[in-house]
Chain A
């Protein structure tokens, strides 16, 4: 017998979940494990139930579909169900496992399911697709205004406004915020691409700092500088970093 496909539906509207559940009925291979109405619940269920396939809405309270996708360690095959606007859709068209534009027909749903089945039998491909998808979404959004961090099973949402500075730690980054430090599974490159350059400046290979917290710049050793933040924190400045600082200070 074929292995069952474990499935979860994530949408904050009950009627939207209903229709997916309704359409799923005729697929014997699919085993519907749970329905979630928000991102927190979804994260919990996904980690516990390890589904193969999720139906994911984008606009949800607390954590959006995109953000949820970002913090999943091993994302399953994802079918987006969304009423999101055309621009976002362009991005999906190239790379998504599939997206369903609400409202969608049963035929269209069938198409998405076939794609999903194919990907589930070839999981490596799926992982790559999702990675591309996430990348695409990130590029689409101008600059990020909040960052989702998962610590164990706990989700924290940090407005970029609250970040004091960011420090590289191998493949991860440490976010120093007003309320404590959080480890984010993203590289400096990610922040380089997604932080608003009017808000943050990369002063060093390993440091981003929030511009309006810089109190002053001091000469540290010969030809090397440090920035002092408003609370006294001292961070190293590289040569290029110093050039950039000089530019914005003017």
Chain B
């Protein structure tokens, strides 16, 4: 840990101010109570306090090397007693040497200085205790803050990881079947093969890049979902139809990215893949007071038997919404006779 008295300008400023205050008090005490002339009082206070001020900054290293976590208490106390004696001793040694070389001649100061050494030594130890105590408080406080920051960071990391794992993952079957369609079209209809290649690429690019972003405009999401539907349309020709109902006001609204497309994919997977008849997929966007309501609805063959893995896509979306908005009820599923409907509520 770097010395906060050097690193942190505010702490350093406060430190200087406190010493300046002590400097003033000492002049007052020397002059008023001990009858030292103002000139001597000024010099005495200036030099002694200046010396301790610098010694005090270096005490930080004493404290950071004697952290409570690393050593036992007895050892720390012994270390500090030794350090306090040495610091205080050094202080009066320097002070005495400087003062007696600065102030020479016949005057009462040298006597005063010699007589005050014991007191100064005790004051030096008192300073030591106060500074070290403050240092420990600073260490404790910064550690505490760091811990808190780390905790918050950790929490957001966990959340991010969860969101990532719930993010839409491209169904490999979809890709390979689409590539197979392209392969077939290169023989029968090359220009359509090219068109589909471009659509597939655009869709994949959109899917991959959005993985970074949490939210995007509904209009963009619809475009991306339509690309997907176009590709499926090439595969399944007239086995399904897509009908959308939404006003202009919806287009600019933001929704979590990659939520609409998986819903449509779900409709295709359980409606179109499993049915022999035509499937109509409805997409409805309706702004309500507090929510934007998105609905995807498809008819399905009630005779078809649900396969394993049904509902995982929807569960993922639900979990994502929960993580993003901290609300549990943002996705509802309705299933009757032959329609399957998923409603999503995006808080505004």
Interface positions of A (Cβ within 8 A of B): 12-16, 18-19, 22, 38, 40, 59, 61-62, 83-85, 101-104, 145-146, 157, 159
Taking the closest CB of chain B, its distance from the CB of A55, in whole angstroms, is 13
Q: When A and B form their complex, which 6 residue pairs have the shortest distance between CB atoms, in order from nearest?
A: A83-B176, A19-B184, A103-B183, A102-B180, A103-B180, A15-B184
Contact B173 A59, beta carbon cutoff 8 Å: yes
Interface string of B276-293 (1 = CB under 8 A from A): 100000000000000000
- A selection of 6 A-B contacts at a CB cut-off of 8 Å is A13-B236, A22-B187, A38-B276, A61-B273, A102-B183, A104-B180
Contact B176 A61, beta carbon cutoff 8 Å: no
Interface positions of B (Cβ within 8 A of A): 172-173, 176-177, 179-185, 187-188, 234-237, 273-276, 301, 304-308
Chain B residues in 8 Å Cβ range of A22:
184, 187-188
Contact A13 B188, beta carbon cutoff 8 Å: no
Taking the closest CB of chain A, its distance from the CB of B177, in whole angstroms, is 5
Contact A102 B176, beta carbon cutoff 8 Å: yes
Chain B residues in 8 Å Cβ range of A13:
177, 180-181, 235-236
Q: Chain A interface mostly helix, strand, loop or mixed?
A: loop
Taking the closest CB of chain A, its distance from the CB of B271, in whole angstroms, is 10
Q: Chain B interface mostly helix, strand, loop or mixed?
A: helix
Chain B residues in 8 Å Cβ range of A157:
305
Task: State A145–B307 Cα separation when bound (angstroms).
Answer: 8
Contact A103 B182, beta carbon cutoff 8 Å: yes
Task: State A13–B304 Cα separation when bound (angstroms).
Answer: 19
Contact A19 B180, beta carbon cutoff 8 Å: yes
Taking the closest CB of chain B, its distance from the CB of A64, in whole angstroms, is 9
Look across to chain B and name the residue whose beta carbon is closest to the beta carbon of A102: B180
Task: State A16–B182 Cα separation when bound (angstroms).
Answer: 9
Chain B residues in 8 Å Cβ range of A38:
276
Taking the closest CB of chain B, its distance from the CB of A60, in whole angstroms, is 8
Contact A16 B305, beta carbon cutoff 8 Å: no
Contact A61 B274, beta carbon cutoff 8 Å: yes
Chain B residues in 8 Å Cβ range of A62:
274, 276, 304
Most chain A beta-carbon contacts within 10 A, residue among B172, B180, B183:
B180
Contact B308 A145, beta carbon cutoff 8 Å: yes
